[in-house]
């Protein structure tokens, strides 16, 4: 079952902490979609990226946080950020990463099309077997990222697979969409398209409070705020 969690605002470490806590404790057979915004100018960067190179590639006076997921640098100052958490018992959790990436972005395409926004998926670049260690996600599209017809990148994502399940953290660049674009309507359409694409029934929980374990979230927040985590490479 796929549920939608309430929208949230948080600082960089809190946003990452909630995603990590949900990944570790999501109930059996459940998938959850959530959107969150940022209380501070922030950028997240992939788990394997080198901190010193990220600092050189990002604007000054911006909060940096290392993600659990891979990928490149994402500037969150003008984006629409989401996370999809899939518990391991669900069949879609076993889909190969490249195929799942395609499915999620195809769902975004369909949701955009319902709102009269045309898009296409990026082809695999010739150098796709080698990754730029300081790539910036909205500057360098990866295979199957969502692009405008003119080639400008709309959406990208990164993944983390664990024994508990799968975390997909994704982002849409607001500047690539019309000023009057209704993200609330888009979010509803995206949930429906993800449910269809991943073959998950839509549903609701009577009480979502057990999903948000405050002690676990606080532990994770301390990790993502820690210099040792963010500067580990």
Closest CA to 31 of 200, 162, 193: 200
Q: In this structure, are residues 98 and 75 in contact, taking their beta carbons and an 8 Å threshold? A: no
pLDDT at position 142, please? 83
Give the mean pLDDT of 155-159.
96
User: CB under 8 Å to 174, separation ≥6 — which residues?
Assistant: 78, 79, 80, 181
The whole-angstrom distance between residue 154's C-alpha and the CA centroid of its chain comes to: 13
pLDDT at position 128, please? 45
Give the mean pLDDT of 84-103.
96
Average pLDDT of the chain, as a whole number: 93
Residue 134 has pLDDT above 90, yes or no: no
**For the CA atoms of the chain, what is the radius of gyration?**
17
Give the mean pLDDT of 189-215.
96
pLDDT at position 70, please? 95
Q: Which letter does DSSP use for residue 136 in this model?
A: B
- Long-range contacts, 149-157 (Cβ 8 Å, 24+): 149/118, 149/119, 149/120, 152/176, 153/122, 154/108, 154/112, 154/119, 155/105, 155/108, 156/71, 156/74, 157/71, 157/101, 157/104, 157/105
Backbone angles phi, psi at 43, to 5 degrees: -140, 140
Spatial separation of the C-alpha atoms in residues 27 and 37, rounded to whole Å: 25
Closest CA to 57 of 146, 153, 132: 132
Kindly list the domain boundaries of the chain, sorted by start residue. 2-230
Residue 137 has pLDDT above 50, yes or no: yes
Q: In this structure, are residues 59 and 76 in contact, taking their beta carbons and an 8 Å threshold? A: no
Q: In this structure, are residues 55 and 63 in contact, taking their beta carbons and an 8 Å threshold? A: no
Give the mean pLDDT of 197-216.
95
Give the mean pLDDT of 13-30.
97
Least confident of 58-62, 114-118, 165-169: 58-62
Residue 185 has pLDDT above 80, yes or no: yes
Residue 45 has pLDDT above 70, yes or no: yes
Closest CA to 42 of 72, 70, 78: 78
Give the mean pLDDT of 133-140.
55
Residue 191 has pLDDT above 50, yes or no: yes
pLDDT at position 132, please? 52
Q: In this structure, are residues 3 and 203 in contact, taking their beta carbons and an 8 Å threshold? A: yes
Per-residue pLDDT band for 125 (boundaries 50, 70, 90) equals low
Residue 136 has pLDDT above 80, yes or no: no
pLDDT at position 130, please? 44
Q: In this structure, are residues 91 and 173 in contact, taking their beta carbons and an 8 Å threshold? A: no
* Fold (CATH) for 2-230: BirA Bifunctional Protein; domain 2 (3.30.930)
Per-residue pLDDT band for 139 (boundaries 50, 70, 90) equals low
- Which phi-psi region, left, alpha or beta, contains residue 116 (left: φ > 0; alpha: ψ -120 to 50)? left
């Amino acid at each position: 079952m796929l549920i939608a969690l309430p929208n949230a605002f948080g600082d960089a470490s809190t946003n990452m902490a909630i995603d990590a806590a949900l990944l570790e404790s999501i109930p059996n057979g459940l998938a959850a979609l959530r959107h969150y915004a940022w209380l501070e100018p922030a950028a997240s960067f992939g788990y394997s990226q080198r901190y010193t190179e990220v600092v050189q590639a990002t604007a000054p006076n911006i909060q940096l946080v290392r993600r659990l997921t891979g990928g490149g640098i994402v500037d969150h100052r003008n984006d629409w950020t989401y996370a999809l958490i899939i518990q391991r018992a669900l069949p879609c959790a076993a889909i190969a990463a490249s195929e799942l990436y395609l499915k999620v972005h195809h769902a975004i395409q369909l949701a955009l099309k319902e709102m009269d926004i045309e898009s296409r998926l990026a082809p695999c670049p010739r150098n796709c077997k080698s990754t730029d260690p300081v790539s910036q996600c909205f500057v360098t599209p990866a295979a199957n990222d969502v692009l405008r017809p003119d080639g400008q990148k709309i959406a990208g994502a990164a993944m983390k697979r664990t024994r508990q399940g799968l975390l997909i953290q994704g982002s849409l660049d607001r500047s690539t969409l019309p000023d009057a674009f209704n993200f609330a309507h888009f979010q509803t359409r995206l949930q429906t398209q993800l449910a269809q694409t991943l073959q998950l029934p839509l549903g609701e929980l009577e009480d979502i409070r057990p999903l948000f374990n405050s002690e676990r979230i606080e532990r994770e927040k301390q990790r993502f705020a820690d210099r040792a985590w963010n500067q580990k490479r």
